[in-house]
Amino acid sequence: MSERALEGLDEQQREAASVLRGPVCVLAGAGTGKTRVITRRIAHGVDTGAYSPGRVMAVTFTAKAAGEMRGRLRALGVEGVAARTFHATALAQLNFFWPQLANDTAPSIIDNKVRVLGQAADALRLRLDGATLRDVASRIEWRKVAMRTIEQDAAAHPEGLSQALDAHALAELQHRYEKLKDERRQLDFEDVLLACAGMLESEPRVAAAVHEQYRHLTVDEFQDVSPVQHRLLELWLGDRRDLCVVGDASQTIYSFAGADPHYLLEFADRYEDATVVRLERNYRSDPAILDVANALMRGRAGALELRSARRAGPVPVVTAYEDDGAEADGVAAAIAAQIAAGIEPDRIAVLYRANAQSAPLLAALASRGIAATVLGGKRFFDLPEVRQAVMALRGASVAPVETTFLAAVRDVLRSLGLTDDPPPAGGALRDAWEARAAVLRLAEEAPADMTLRRFTDELLARGRDQHEPSLRTVTLATLHAAKGLEWDHVHLVGLAEGLLPISYATGSEAIDEERRLTYVGITRAARTLSLSWSERSGARQRQRSRFLQEIGPGPIATGGRRPPAGRAAGPRRSGTGTPDAGDARATSAGRRPS
Task: Check if the beta carbon of residue 488 is closer than 8 Å to that of residue 589.
Answer: yes
Beta bridge partners of residue 498, listed in sequence order: 502
Please state, in angstroms and rounded to a whole number, the distance separating the CA atoms of residues 168 and 348: 50
Please state, in angstroms and rounded to a whole number, the distance separating the CA atoms of residues 500 and 543: 11
Residue 29 assigned to a binding site: yes
- CB-based contacts of 577, cutoff 8 Å, min separation 6: none
Task: Check if the beta carbon of residue 523 is closer than 8 Å to that of residue 30.
Answer: yes
Residue 66 assigned to a binding site: no
Residue 30 assigned to a binding site: yes
Residue 28 assigned to a binding site: yes
CB atoms within 10 A of CB 99: 12
Please state, in angstroms and rounded to a whole number, the distance separating the CA atoms of residues 68 and 34: 12
Of 553, 519, 513, whose CA–CA distance to 316 is shortest? 553
Residue 461 assigned to a binding site: no
The CA distances from residue 579 to 8, 321, 514, 521, in Å, are 36, 17, 30, 22
Please state, in angstroms and rounded to a whole number, the distance separating the CA atoms of residues 437 and 454: 19
Q: What angle do CA 460, 461, 467 make, to 5 degrees?
A: 105
Residue 32 assigned to a binding site: yes
Side chain identity at residue 395, one-letter code: G
Q: What is the DSSP string of 463-489?
A: HHHT-PPPPSSEEEEEHHHHTT--EEE
Residue 33 assigned to a binding site: yes
Q: Residues annotated as binding site?
A: 28-35
Q: Which residues are annotated as a binding site for ATP?
A: 28-35
